[in-house]
Structure 1
Amino acid sequence: MQNRVLLIEDDDELRQLLARYLDSQGFTVREAANGEDGLALAAEHHCDVVVLDIMLPDLNGLEVLRRLRSRTHLPVILLTARGDETDRIVGFEVGADDYIPKPCNPRELVARLQALLRRISWDQKTEADAVRHYGDVRLEPDQRRILLNDQVLDLTATEYEILQVLLAHAGSVVRKTDLMQWALGRRLSPHDRTLDMHISNLRRKLADQGGKRIETVRGLGYSYRVPA
């Protein structure tokens, strides 16, 4: 079965270029040139992942992301202006799973899409059904969800991946390079703060502002500490 991509991009030339390349790589692509049309397609047609430009002519891409997140946990990859750190930070806070700076290399987009979809598919096929407890946190692999004090955490697909890796290695340090590879499916590159942003969001959702649950081990990575 082909993976279905919803591509929301107002630049006609870029959108058509990416759509043709994705189609050549085996993806089924639906296109939208603005935020309202993109939201309508997301509601009417099932898709597996959304590629969303931040700069749209009607609704800002971040507002589109907010509306998507209010009703779905579909993985979302943002297309952002190169060097615009603020948009990336806000995008992760709103619920983006990954980002690619523009101008976008079609091959890199395909690699990111395949890595994201592969992680989700692998979890669905191989995760044991057994519920696991880590103090007041419960991992339910069959439902792809994590609960804190019996309340389901509102996690993106990537946040789920990161947290379940940290939980599986609770009490041990997970190197940033390993966590990036296992949870995001790519190597850690210099100045890439994607992982740090996701960790920050997880701490906020776990009410872990002091870093007592997810501890930063300077120069190495992160460690999840199960509360006593």
Structure 2
Amino acid sequence: MSEKIILVDDDSNILTSVSLALKSEGWSVETYNDGEQGLIALQRNNPDIAILDIKMPKLDGMEVLKKLRISSNIPVIFLTSKDDEIDEALGLRMGADDYITKPFSQKLLVERIRAVLRRSSLKNSDVSDKVIQRNNLYLDPDRHLCKWKDLEVKLTVTEFLILNSLAFRPGLVKSRDQLIDTAYGETIYVDDRTIDSHIKRMRRKFRFFDKTFDHIETLYGVGYRYKDE
């Protein structure tokens, strides 16, 4: 069964050309030209991945993502314009899994989609595919379930992979480059700040339930590690 992709962009040329390219890869593709209709489709149809333009009528990509994250951890790739560096960082903090800057090659987009889909299946040698229990932390990759003190913490695919990698070997320092390889694969280039944004968002999620949470440690100039209790 082919993976289902929902593409939302107000540019009809992008909808046509990108959907054709994605279908040629064997994926099932649905297209929508505004955020409002796109959000309805995402909530109803539960695709394997969503590709969202940031600047759209009715609901922009940020608003769609914010509403989507209330109930869903569907992987999301943002399409951003060349001058939207602030939007890229904000999108990652809000829970996007990746972004790609316009204009982009269809080959690059296909590679990014494959990378996110690989991450969503957790088929990576640097993470555990078994349940991890670290005192108050519980991670179940098969169910994409994260709990802290028996309360569910909703993580995106990328956040789950990063935390899984850190918690798999508590105390071991992972550099940003190692975490990028874990979450994105060795063939995808992303900036170091991408990992920083994911880490900050994870900390906020855990501190929503536990204000004293401090188990994801930053070692400045080196990387991150999970500190067990």
Relative to the length of structure 2, the TM-score reads: 0.89
> In 2, distance between residues paired with 1:190 and 1:91?
14
> In 1, distance between residues paired with 2:44 and 2:143?
24
- 8 Å contact kept, 1:8–1:52: yes
> In 2, distance between residues paired with 1:80 and 1:144?
28
CA distances 1:108-164 after superposition (whole Å, capped 9, x unpaired): 11111101111222459x9655x3321221122332111111111121111111101
Calculate the aligned-residue CA RMSD, in Å: 2.4
- 8 Å contact kept, 1:127–1:142: no
CA distances 1:145-186 after superposition (whole Å, capped 9, x unpaired): 111111111211111111011100210111221111112224
- 8 Å contact kept, 2:51–2:76: yes
> Is 1:103 the counterpart of 2:108 in the alignment?
no
SS at match of 1:88: helix
> In 2, distance between residues paired with 1:136 and 1:92?
26
Partner of 2:28: 28
| Greater Cα offset, 185-194 or 29-38 | 185-194
- 8 Å contact kept, 1:35–1:64: yes
Look up the equivalent residue of 2:228 and give its one-letter code. V
Look up the equivalent residue of 1:225 and give its one-letter code. K
Instruction: Structure 2 unaligned segments of length 5 or more: list them.
Output: none
Give how far 1:213 is off: 1.6
Give how far 1:218 is off: 2.7
> In 1, distance between residues paired with 2:32 and 2:186?
28
Partner of 1:79: 79
1:3 to 1:189, Cα distance in 2 relative to 1, 3 A: closer
> In 2, distance between residues paired with 1:202 and 1:113?
22
Partner of 2:222: 220
CA distances 1:56-78 after superposition (whole Å, capped 9, x unpaired): 02212111111211221111111
Partner of 1:121: 121
1:83 to 1:41, Cα distance in 2 relative to 1, 3 A: same
- 8 Å contact kept, 1:9–1:52: yes
After superposition, where does 1:139-218 map in structure 2 within 5 Å? 139-186=139-186, 189=189, 191-207=191-207, 212-218=214-220
1:199 to 1:127, Cα distance in 2 relative to 1, 3 A: closer
Instruction: Structure 1 unaligned segments of length 5 or more: list them.
Output: none
> In 1, distance between residues paired with 2:105 and 2:188?
18
Partner of 1:3: 3
Relative to the length of structure 1, the TM-score reads: 0.89
Partner of 1:67: 67
1:98 to 1:209, Cα distance in 2 relative to 1, 3 A: farther
